Amino acid sequence: MKILIVMSLFSVLFGEKINHDYLDNQIDISLSYFKSEYDAYQDELKKNYFNGESKEEIANKIEKKLKGVLDGKGIYITEQCLNVGLDPYLFTAVMLQETGCYWNCSYLTRVCNNVAGNKGNPGCNGGSYRKFNTLNEGINFAINKLNSYYKKGLTTAEEINPYYAEDKTWYIKVNNYINKLKS
């Protein structure tokens, strides 16, 4: 608006004609640019926050509870979960329940990089539990598996329990870890 007023004064003072089509086009370009920047900013905010907590706050809380081979993986786990839209507390709680890494990680985690008790091939030392080449590979697989339930609307440990674990009280243990992680 201010630009138009200045341009109009300029034209009155100096007798120049204003190309309104050109100005309209420039304003549209500017508005489009600012909208795209704003949208990118909003997208970045969504990636960096979950339920009112920053990515760093979540990662720090998670990191404090990870032991053994998972020590130092808090930010990686948080970022990977947020990238797919999965609750990082839920994922970490499932992982802690399955690995024992709240105290000391299980053999399956230490030797086979399996952080969620996933079965499949290739088997870990000839067993039915899956072996992963790296810890990050095991984490990513577990995130994607849990996220497949999450995408179906199963967003709590209690809702996921019948599909994930044979133990009917598994969700109680997972929820206990969630509470510990959030504190």
Question: What is the per-residue burial (b if ≥16 Cβ within 10 Å, else e) of 44-53?
Answer: eeeeeebeeb
Q: What is the mean pLDDT of residues 116-130?
A: 93
Q: Are 91 and 142 in contact (CB under 8 A)?
A: yes
pLDDT digits (tens, 9 = 90+) for 164-174: 999 999 999 99
Rounded Cα distance, 70 and 181, in Å: 14
160 pLDDT band, cuts 50/70/90, is very high
Q: What is the mean pLDDT of residues 66-74?
A: 94
Q: What is the mean pLDDT of residues 66-85?
A: 95
Rounded Cα distance, 153 and 134, in Å: 30
20 pLDDT band, cuts 50/70/90, is low
Beta strands in 32-122 (DSSP E): 49-50, 53-54
Q: pTM for the complete prediction?
A: 0.73
